[in-house]
Structure 1
Amino acid sequence: MFGLFVVVEGVDKSGKTTVVRELYEALSKNYPVKKISFPDRSTAIGTILDKYLKGIVDMSPEATHLLFTADRYEKKREIEELSRNNILICDRYSWSGITSTVAKGIDLGWCLETERLLPKADITLYLEADIEVISRRRGFGDEVLETTEIQHKIKDCFGQMRDYSENVVVLDATKSVEDITAIAVKHVLRCLEKKNQINSV
């Protein structure tokens, strides 16, 4: 079996981590599955990002973006290896980094260029969420990007990202976790089947 790189994206508190967990559990019954998440706050770069997200340190938008991107590049080889023969599910990836930077007024083209050499997702599952709803969820506001104003801007940027990505599936975050997971599983398996057919020719 050829592997698959699945990315789950969405604004903060849209349910990404829950969907990743449920998708992992559902697919693990019949397939080899691994998961990864960003940012990785355990690394040297990740500890700086953790301090930034918690408002302990401040950095320019460009410097912040490059650190988030570097965090992903540190896992480049791991992503390539894990997605070779497994379904690799990723909680946040390039979209999250790019949208949070563009929301601060930085050029989209520059952000895209910094991500150019990273592994591309085979399928991106985007959780479409209402900002007013997610702003009432527990923990919203704990980190610097978690304001309704910033999240509205980030959501608008997510809309732009669809034009720069292939195989994007939009999931309604207001649906039940069970419904979202069922739809996600269907699309992931369809993508996996298509990839295996292409690679077996």
Structure 2
Amino acid sequence: MKDLSCGLFVVIEGLDRSGKSTLVKSLYEDLKKKYPVFTLSFPDRKTPIGAILDKYHKGVVELNPEVQHLLFSADRYEKKELIEELRKNTIIICDRYLWSGIIATVVKGVDLGWCIETERLLPKADLTLYLDADVDLISKRRGFGDEILETKEIQSKMRDIYYQMKDHNENLVILDASKSVKEITKEAVEEIERCFQSRSLEKLV
């Protein structure tokens, strides 16, 4: 395993049931052969804030959209110092991050600019890999519909908003979620290696 002079913060984004968690696990198994790797997932449903968000996702509690967003944001801020420390010499693979929380709020009618501003002090991802999935495809996957945002109508709206990430994230790469796990992992590893090499060169300058 290599000792890294700099790390990398990689975020996996996408619609519900698009294969994010599967890709995170696959990337971890692939990358750990060469690098120190750490995985994260948001929301962290084991924390007090995450427990509220878990109940919200399952329809147990209702939340005002702005309150919902601030809780999503607070969940991420709780991991701010951890991310900043790990990214010094570790590759972090994160299942959902800023845009998952932002889009889950914007789809309720809240202003995109306000949502982005609340995230301003959080660590920025070095690379965001977006798994682009057809809504008809994900709606057929096991578990779809278990949580309140998992309807075809909401997911279609969320997909439209996800495309706006390109205007706010220069380090965004779109991957085709309809491909096999092996194919997607290969493409993702190539993008991570490319980004890592670029970061390493920046450290030398």
Q: Quick check: TM above 0.5? A: yes
1:100 CA drift (Å): 1.1
Structure 1: where are the runs of 5+ without partners? Answer: none
2:114 paired with 1:129: no
Equivalent residue runs for 1:40-189 within 5 Å: 40-189=44-193
Q: Number of aligned pairs?
A: 201
Structure 2: where are the runs of 5+ without partners? Answer: none
Q: Secondary structure at the match of 2:87?
A: helix
Cα deviation, 1:135-166, whole Å, max 9, x if unaligned, reads 11100000011111110111111001111012
Cα deviation, 1:102-128, whole Å, max 9, x if unaligned, reads 111110000000000000000000000
Equivalent residue runs for 1:182-201 within 5 Å: 182-201=186-205
**Alpha-carbon distance between aligned partners in 2 of 1:162 and 1:67, rounded to the nearest angstrom:** 25
Cα deviation, 1:39-76, whole Å, max 9, x if unaligned, reads 00011101110110110000111100000000000000
Letter in 1 for 2:105: T
Letter in 2 for 1:29: K
Cα deviation, 1:10-56, whole Å, max 9, x if unaligned, reads 00000000000001111111111111000000111011101101100
**Alpha-carbon distance between aligned partners in 2 of 1:144 and 1:82, rounded to the nearest angstrom:** 33
Output the TM-score relative to the length of structure 2. Answer: 0.97
1:6 CA drift (Å): 0.2
Output the TM-score relative to the length of structure 1. Answer: 0.99
4+ aligned runs moved over 3 Å, structure 1: none
Q: Secondary structure at the match of 1:132?
A: helix
1:94 CA drift (Å): 0.3
Q: Secondary structure at the match of 1:191?
A: helix
Equivalent residue runs for 1:5-20 within 5 Å: 5-20=9-24
Percent of residue pairs bearing the same amino acid type? 63
